[in-house]
Structure 1
Amino acid sequence: MQPSACPYCQTTMRNTYARGLTRDECGACGAGWFDAELLGKVVTGPVMDAVFEQAKGKPGRCRGCEASLQYVPGCPSCGSRAPTCPGCGGAPLPAVELKGLPVDVCGKCRGVAMGREEVARLQQPTAPQPRPPEEPAPEIQAADFEHEYVPAPPSMSLRPRVMLGDEPACTTCGRRLEPRYGFVWEERLFCGSCAPEGSVPYSDELTKARPSESSGRRAQYLNTGATESAVVWLLSKLFK
């Protein structure tokens, strides 16, 4: 095959193959001339058919000053030679877009011409893309399994709300007693003899008693302020 001239600068091109594309490449300006059938394997056949259909009746374009060219072999504005088909010599070649790239095409020879920059951009999708580095999995911390403590709102009081009345007395036997010597169960005050199973010594610092608590665990509710109440309860049980 006789070497062809560059469609833009008329320098003799050489046939080359790079990144899956066979083309004639200009060593002077870097332009490329692609056979539509081979180029269609990269950009798909239907796309190429649409390009040539779009090129029918389209004017050419000056590569020097971007002027529109119609039926002239050279640009009347800047004098540059119009894009010319290296196969049949037809000029100016219709200017269209191929996948967003400006190209010049020859419908007779089924060829596509594009500049150095367009050739580089066309080859980018065919180049293998590096895989993004995998982010290491976050290290699991023991705190991830702990429930976050949410304090109770100020309006919610956890202290026992005991119904003492005007004269504090045992709910069961009615005996008057000091609240500090009594026991709490379901917001009611009891003496040591009548205290139900699960009740706790009265104290402003204790939370409300829970029904599931057993009397054998009463000691864990005792603090410095409740020690005296615990002693009174023990004596009442011994001398009942």
Structure 2
Amino acid sequence: MSVYLYAVTAAGHPHRLDGLHGVGDPAGALRSLRARSVAAVVSDAPAELRAKRRDLMAHENVQERLLEDGAVLPMRFGLVAGSDDEVLAALDEHAAAYEQALREVEGCTEYHLRVARDEDDMLREIVTQSDEARKLNDRTRQDPASHADKVALGELISHEIERRRERAAEDVVHALSDTAVRHVVGQPNRDHLVALSFLVRRERSGDFSRAAQHLADDLGAGAQLTLHGPLPPYSFV
């Protein structure tokens, strides 16, 4: 039977799994697979798996419990292997890489930070601050059929938005890097201007949260900052 993976830990991790259950309906029984120096928490994989709230919560609850007792390399939801033997072989084959990754995240948790800007507000700002954007905007209003001006305006706005994204990401990193071990820049989308993940030592979590609150205050009313965490260190595995 195929095997569902939750996390990789050091072989000596206690794997306190009492009271928890795995994904699937009926829920899979959790078990440990221990190789020479690293181990994995797994269950039998259900025949059909969807990202339902019940299964997502089961996946996260296992990882959060493991995180209470030591470093964890969390697997993404839905990762399945062919068999226990396949998992054990992979643990032994990649043991050195897993051990290094566990050392890097030891004593740390992850925080996700996003900065959003109202799209209409940002467009008004670009047109107000850029003489070229203002001229192109006026010309497209006077001549709605002017395809060249519309294309030029669209390209200019796209460039300005990207410039603001880069500047906002730099400002966030500058404000929070002293309280974090590492960071990675995520992919922005229509809902947010900047997305970053920070690896933070547990004893610095309060410092990081306070620095994030100061940053939110400095951003002002035109921007909205959201912070999620502490989380298993998905982005740093």
Q: TM-score, normalised by structure 1?
A: 0.22
Q: Where is the strand percentage greater, Structure 1 or Structure 2? A: 2
- Ranked by relative contact order (alpha carbons within 8 Å, sequence separation 6 or more), the top structure is 2
